[in-house]
């Protein structure tokens, strides 16, 4: 079984500031890890995924995440926030070699102030 904990239901940053959204996972087997973004009244869009290749994963819209096995973490970062980044962000984990069904976290709402 696997699970995801997203620390902080809301994160507030100023435009141009660093974005850091935290995700810790639990998995009994090597995990696949994902970050998705959801804008109001829309479905989820895949930002990036880790599938056991490079530990630093670059995604769309300038986002990246680093897989740290020792810390069981997969935090999402972006050097400079834009107003358009305001949305709900979800971290998800699936078990490699198994059913691959992702389990999602509760989400973190990113608020960007001008």
Partner 1 sequence: DAGVTQSPTHLIKTRGQHVTLRCSPISGHKSVSWYQQVLGQGPQFIFQYYEKEERGRGNFPDRFSARQFPNYSSELNVNALLLGDSALYLCASSLRLEGGYTFGSGTRLTVV
Alpha-carbon span 40 to 112, nearest angstrom? 15
> What is the 3 state secondary structure string of 3-48?
EEEEECCEEEEECCCCEEEEEEEEECCCEEEEEEEECCCCCEEEEE
The nearer residue to partner 1, 16 or 30, going by C-beta atoms, is 30
With CB under 8 A, what is the number of residues at the site for partner 1?
Answer: 23
Does position 36 bind partner 1 by CB under 8 A?
Answer: yes
Does position 31 bind partner 1 by CB under 8 A?
Answer: no
Does position 51 bind partner 1 by CB under 8 A?
Answer: yes
Alpha-carbon span 44 to 46, nearest angstrom? 7
Does position 99 bind partner 1 by CB under 8 A?
Answer: yes
Site residues for partner 1, 73-92, by CB under 8 A, read 90
Which residues sit at the interface with partner 1, rule CB under 8 A?
A: 32, 34, 36, 41-46, 49, 51, 90, 94, 96, 99-107
């Amino acid at each position: 079984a696997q699970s995801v904990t997203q620390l902080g239901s809301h994160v507030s940053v100023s435009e141009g500031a660093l974005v850091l959204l935290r995700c810790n996972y639990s998995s009994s087997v090597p995990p696949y890890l994902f970050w998705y973004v959801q804008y109001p009244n829309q479905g989820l869009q895949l930002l990036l995924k880790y599938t056991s290749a490079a530990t630093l994963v670059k995604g769309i819209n300038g986002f990246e995440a680093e897989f740290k096995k020792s810390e069981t973490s997969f935090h999402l970062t972006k050097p400079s926030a834009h107003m358009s980044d305001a949305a709900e962000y979800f971290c998800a984990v699936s078990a490699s070699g198994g059913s691959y069904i992702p389990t999602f976290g509760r989400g973190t709402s990113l608020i960007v102030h001008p």
